[in-house]
Each structure stands twice: as C-alpha cells, then as structure tokens.
Structure 1
C-alpha cells in the first residue's frame, strides 16, 4: 500500500518452500485485495534460516510462470531478489510471509525464516506481516488451516487500516483450534519461554559416526500475562508489533549515566 492507502502490489514469501500448503492458502485468501500478487519463495524448506543470506555462493531462480518464482536460497534472499530484480519496476507495498506451519512465538522469532522475511520487507520500506498457524509438536498432529483461512481477511483488513509507523512489522499467530473456538484477536507482547527449546539430539550413522539433530521441544512454563504465549493458550489470534530498532534504550541511558559518573 502507498501513503494514500492504494494497492501497489503484494509480495508473498515463506520459509516452508514454494509448494507449501500454507503459502497456497495465503495466495488464495489474499486474492487481489491488495493489488497484484507475486510469489517468490524458496525451492524447499528453509525453516530456522533466520535472517541468513546467500553471501558465499550464487543464487539461482526458476520461473514457474509470470507470478511464481522459486529461489534456490533463503527467505531473505527471496525478498531481496523480488525487491531489486523481479519487482523492481513496481515494488510491493505489502510483504506477507507465511503462512508458516508451526508457531512463531516468543523466542521463535529469533530463528524464524518466516519472521526474517517480514523483517527484510520492513527494512526495505514495505508494510510487512509474518503469519503462522500454530500446530502441536506431536507426530501426526493436524494443522488447523481452516482457522488461518477464516481469520486471515479480518486480521489483514484490521492491520492495513491502522497507521503503520516506519520500522514496524507484525507477527501474527493463529491458534491451534477449530475456527469456531477462536476467541478474537489480541495485541500482544513477545513472550519468553524457559530455556531449552532447542537442544542437540545425538544419533549414530551406519558407520558409527556421531551426528546430531537440533530438536525442538518447548519446556513447560507459565505464559507471561499479555504475551503471545498467553493469547495462543487462550485460543486467541496473537498480533505482536515488532520493531527494527533493537537498542535497549533505557539500559543505554543508565550506562551513559554510569559512564558520566566515571569521568567518561
């Protein structure tokens, strides 16, 4: 969207790969509500890629058609290629990243390729939203895609109608429940789980050589009041405003005062 609220085109990206069901759902649900849609997504899953870029090797593209491009790279690569190459003549006013299969709550945002793509969009000046459908970590757990599909239009209509300060993006999580059980939308703060969500899991290959998987297992712990964790536990859609400025301003002021007291 431009400053007058007019549609200038939308970029869709994800970290689950260009054939992921969440991305297909997002494209179908958005339609042309926010201008022409272009999909630029990794060829395969890049979950946990965070804000990585392909700095040490070339990135190749595969054009499936005029609006769908698969990238042999990271989610951030996809946004950069869309912005500077594929959509350079009509850059997107809106970047939507997702819909991720799995939560991006609390400290997940540090690791998430889904959130990183939205961050890159915000860095480039686009209004950006990361979208995730929470799902249980149990094997074979059903993904409540219908919840994301039904709630998505309401969420996006609400967000694009609001003032959108520079350097702000939104991280949206849909709860792991049927659509009729959703208890509205909440504006939340990013929570924090107890340590230990990501741990190496040791195994041995056929030649008795150790190898490791990074296992995802969320520790038990209370959800802080007002947090995204609490909202999802209550079956509400969590909308968390994130900012690009990572400076701890209050602590910086304390340090400056302390430094002044030492004759700095």
Structure 2
C-alpha cells in the first residue's frame, strides 16, 4: 500500500495554532480526497512542508496541497522539494514545474506559445509615476498591481488614475495589468484539470465593492458549465505548457473586452481545487495518483 503525503503549512493545519481565514478549504480537500485515496488502497499522511525530512519516511508521493505560505519562503520551499525528489519521493507537481510556475513571468512564455494573456508591464518596483504611465499605455483608469511571486492576492493593490499618492511605491517585483470589468460582472472562470483532462469548472465572483475573488475577501463560487469554446480556450493553456500536463492544474481565465478569454494564472503549485464544485475530484485524483505510484 502506497502512502501519499499532502503538504500543508502551520496556518492551514488543524490544531497548529491560529489558522488562516481560508483554512476551511484545507478541510474540504481532506474530506474529498482522504476517502477516495483509501478506496484506491492508498494511505494519506498530512505533513507540514517545513517538517524535517524524517517526517517523510515511508511516503511514496507528495502533493503540494495547502502549503500556502511558500511564497515568503520560496528558496526553502524549492530546496525541500529537491530534497524529497532526491529521496526518491514523487513530488506533484514536480520541482521543475514549481520553478517554472513560481514567478508569474511564465505568462510571457505562454504568450509566445500563442496563449491569450492580459496586457502586462513587468517592473522590479513601481512608483506612482510608473503606475500612471502604465494606465496611459493600457488606456485604462484603474490598474491592478500584483507581486511576481505571490498567491491569494496577498499584497495586491488596485490603483485609480489621479488618486495615486505622489510618494506611493510598490517594493516587490511587480506585474501591472489593466483592471477588467468582467471580474465584477461575469467573474473569473477556473478550469480544474487532472493529468490534462478537464475535471470541472467554476465561476468566482468578488463581494460587492471588491474585485478580489478569494474566499478570504468574501468571494463566492458556483458551478459553471463551460461552452465548447471556453473549454477549448482553457485546454489551449494546458497545451502551451513547456512540459507534459502535470497531476493537477487550475487555469484561471477572465474575459477581455473583445469577448475572448485570457489566462490570468496557470496555478500549478498549490492551487485550491474546489472539490465542492467538482464532486468527482477525489476519485479522479486518486486514480491519477495510483497510476503515478505504479510507474
């Protein structure tokens, strides 16, 4: 019987102190995958990714799970994944995939392979003047500034033309994008793939008066039945990846003003996979993990 590790962190693990406001998503993932893995003859072991290597003794495969503090400890996180692979443990998604995905400049590479992406400026840091210049270049009045290495909208800022204080500065390597109104009207569409096959799709809408769709900020999710064109647009992003389709992927897309869907993020590290909108997710993942352990 194979043992499957599910990586978590100190703020998503139950009983480990003060939990994140979205730690309930960790619990929902456990409810979805633990019985499915057991049905497939697999044992689940939840492990803090920062635990000593000895904690991984006997583990055959690890999923990166809810290691949701990795962005502030990126080098240590990558070193741990390398160490696990060196011990012969299958890491999903692999250190190679994580290295490619950890900095959002991967979107530039996707664009060179024909993926539809949102217009973006990439800067090491951002001043008020540079933010206003980006609005001019994009022809927009609102700008979203994100960290190049980040997750869950942490540190993200929305700027409005004429309202940026003269001394404002964003001190992280940044990506600047025009605000797209579709986030509040249609919402973001998230396509969940397991080994390159579409599992389920959901629509994520922000709380009234906000633009962030994460549950931490009051975002709401609902099942979405994609049109063939929408499913094809998401599959094109998977096809554009510079490696074989990984165990899991979440492709987040938003409609541009011309009506086309563009990729916002290709979440390949530790995305929440929304099992409540995809009741077959646990079984799909279990079958895929079983195949990987058998190779």
Return the TM-score normalized by structure 1.
0.29
Q: Which structure carries more relative contact order (alpha carbon 8 Å, separation 6+)?
A: 2
Return the TM-score normalized by structure 2.
0.26
